[in-house]
Amino acid sequence: MLDLKFVRENIAVVEEALRKRRSSLTLEGFVALDKARRDRLVGVEGMRAERNAASEEIGRLRREKKDASELMERMKGLSVRLKEAEGELPEIERKMEEFLLSIPNVPDPTVPDGAGEEDNPVVRTWGTPGAFPFPVKDHVDLGAALDILDFDRAAKIAGGRFCLSKGAGALLERALINFMLDVHTREHGYLEVLPPFLANRASFLGTGQLPKFEEELFRVAGTDYFLVPTAEVPVTNIVRDEILPASALPLKMTAYTPCFRAEAGSYGKDTRGMIRQHQFNKVEMVKICRPEESAGELEKLTDDAEEILRRLGLPYRVVTLCTGDLGFSSAKTYDIEVWVPSQDRYREISSCSTFTDFQARRAKIRFREGASGKTRLAHTLNGSGLAVGRTVVAILENFQREDGTVDVPEALRPYMGGMERIVKR
Is there a single domain that holds both residue 124 and residue 85? no
> Of 71, 102, 133, which residue is a domain's last?
102
> Of 68, 102, 136, which residue is a domain's last?
102
Residues of the chain where predicted confidence (pLDDT) is lower than 70: 264-267
d(CA 70, CA 62): 13
- Could you give the number of structural domains in the chain? 2
Is there a single domain that holds both residue 86 and residue 125? no
The pLDDT assigned to 72 comes to: 84
d(CA 397, CA 389): 13
Q: Are 340 and 150 in contact (CB under 8 A)?
A: no
The pLDDT assigned to 265 comes to: 63
d(CA 202, CA 342): 41
Residue 112, in any domain of the structure: no
CA distances from 235 to 49, 201, 255, 340, 370 (A): 49, 14, 8, 30, 25
User: Cβ contacts of residue 237 below 8 Å, gap of 6+?
Assistant: 199, 202, 203, 206, 207, 363
Is there a single domain that holds both residue 240 and residue 361? yes
Domain range for 37: 28-102
β pairing state of 332-340 and 345-354: antiparallel
Q: What is the dihedral of CA 327, 176, 192, 212, to 10 degrees?
A: 20
Is there a single domain that holds both residue 95 and residue 123? no
Q: Are 342 and 248 in contact (CB under 8 A)?
A: no
Is there a single domain that holds both residue 274 and residue 391? yes
Is there a single domain that holds both residue 151 and residue 294? yes
Report the CATH number that the domain containing residue 51 is assigned in CATH: 1.10.287.40
Is there a single domain that holds both residue 96 and residue 121? no
Residue 3, in any domain of the structure: no
Runs of H (alpha helix) within 21-68: 28-63
Residue 11, in any domain of the structure: no
The pLDDT assigned to 266 comes to: 66
Please give the positions annotated as active site.
261, 276, 348, 351, 390
Q: What is the dihedral of CA 337, 262, 214, 255, to 10 degrees?
A: -50
Residue 357 DSSP label = T
Q: Which amino acid is at 56?
A: E
Q: Give the predicted TM-score (pTM) of the model.
A: 0.92
SS3 419: coil
The pLDDT assigned to 207 comes to: 98
